Amino acid sequence: MEIRFEENETECTAGLKKASEGSFVLEDAVLLEFKINGKVAGKIKTPSEGVVTFARGLKPGAVLIKGQVIATISECKHEIVIKDMCGTCGKDLREKGGRAGQRKEQSTANVSMIHHVPELIVSDSLAQQIGSADETNLVSNRKLVLLVDLDQTIIHTSDKPMSEDSEKVSSV
């Protein structure tokens, strides 16, 4: 559902965003304040509950035009689930009287993120975003990752292939 700017006033600019990108908002929650001549003149509210995605380029001070799309509200996809409860909207996904994993609503979450917290699962796309952000962070900080197997053996991680006889190679 698109939320459009409906004021007829000229010289309207965007004020502070009252919700963050990707957050769950309730019906009649304030999304954005708008200003006329530098003073807060009104607020744009949500017509329904859902996950908010703001329009690109919408920053404080941006000029608002009548009919301009401010944000879109979409149904929660339940991308983060812990113990059958959505981490975004807080909805209980478990069937009444059901066991763990028996959900009354589908979620896109199916990747376990932390080994010792198997109840925390996220969607494939979110897991890839988190993984690529971690990789970018490691590369920019010039860090390596050391993997240790369950029996405490160290797994070699490198972008260089290992030669068969490492004793002959001086750089190893």
- Shared domain for 105 and 160, answered yes or no, is yes
Q: According to the model, what pLDDT value does residue 46 have?
A: 92
Q: Answer whether residue 171 is part of any domain.
A: no
Domain boundary among 74, 95, 127: 74
**CATH code for the domain in which residue 14 is found:** 2.40.50.100
CB 50 within 8 A of CB 2: no
Whether residue 66 lies inside any domain: the answer is yes
| pLDDT higher than 50, residue 100 | yes
Based on the fold, state whether residues 151 and 86 are members of the same structural domain. yes
Residues 56 and 87 in one domain: no
Are 82 and 161 in the same domain?
yes
Closest CA to 4 of 31, 27, 22: 31
Range of the domain at 120: 77-166
25 and 60 together in one domain: yes
pTM for the predicted model, two decimal places:
0.63
Instruction: Indicate the residue among 26, 45, 74 that finishes a domain.
Output: 74
Is 172 among the domain residues? no
Overall domain count for the chain: 2
If asked whether residues 83 and 69 sit together in one domain, one would say no
pLDDT in tens, 133-167: 998 998 899 887 777 777 666 665 556 665 655 56
What pLDDT score does 159 carry?
Answer: 61
Q: Which helix (H) or strand (E) holds 131?
A: helix 124-140
Residues 17 and 59 placed together within one structural domain of the fold:
yes
Last residue of a domain, one of 74, 106, 137: 74
Which residue in 152, 154, 93, 148 sits closest to 119, CA to CA? 93
Render pLDDT for 18-62 as a digit per residue (tens, 0 to 9).
Answer: 998 888 899 999 999 998 888 888 899 999 999 999 998 888 888
Confidence of residue 172 (pLDDT cuts 50, 70, 90): very low
Task: Say whether both 117 and 94 belong to one domain.
Answer: yes
Arithmetic mean of pLDDT over the chain: 82
Whether 79 contacts 130, CB under 8 Å: no
